[in-house]
């Protein structure tokens, strides 16, 4: 589904407290998990060793790094919403709270929901806080819940 396009600051401000976007499903493959492990040097067996994870892991399979799931927020956000008509760029400003309530098994599909918590005008742009929930298809609990801070500049 195409991203929700927000075309005015007034429209954005009127969305505070509402779910603004929902990304498409995205498969977290073992290959992507392996690449993330190499990039971050986080090579724990629970992420990489399929046979050992099958035998010893409480999940029965390898799982994605929590930080891999977190790093996908920007991509999932681009699938869910667009402020491009208003702003030329968005900058990750940080996170207030991050929790990983459930694992993302290798091969699972995830998607993200974006609820607009606040919009604050700053010089040259706006400071936005998004409440992000990343779901695992068929999962009981979210894989990630976070307050994501983004600054959008004109």
Say whether pTM exceeds 0.95: no
pLDDT at 1 over 80: no
Which tens digits make up the pLDDT trace of 96-145? Answer: 999 999 999 999 999 999 999 999 999 999 999 999 999 999 999 999 99
CA 29/CA 47 separation, integer angstroms? 11
Percent of the chain with pLDDT over 70: 100
CA 2/CA 17 separation, integer angstroms? 22
Query: What's the DSSP call for residue 111?
Result: E
Mean pLDDT of 67-93: 93
pLDDT at 24 over 90: yes
């Amino acid at each position: 589904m195409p991203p929700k396009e927000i075309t005015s600051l007034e429209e954005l401000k009127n969305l505070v407290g509402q779910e603004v976007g929902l990304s498409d499903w995205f498969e977290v493959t073992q290959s992507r998990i392996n690449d993330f492990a190499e990039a971050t040097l986080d090579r724990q067996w629970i992420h990489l060793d399929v046979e050992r994870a099958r035998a010893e892991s409480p999940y029965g399979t390898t799982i994605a790094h929590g930080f891999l799931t977190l790093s996908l927020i920007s991509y999932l956000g681009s699938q869910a919403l667009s402020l491009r008509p208003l702003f030329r760029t968005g900058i990750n400003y940080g996170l207030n709270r991050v929790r990983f309530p459930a694992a993302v098994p290798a091969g699972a599909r995830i998607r993200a929901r974006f609820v607009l918590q606040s919009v604050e005008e700053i010089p040259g742009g706006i400071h936005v806080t998004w409440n992000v929930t990343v779901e695992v298809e068929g999962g009981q609990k979210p894989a990630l819940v976070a307050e994501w801070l983004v600054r959008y500049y004109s």
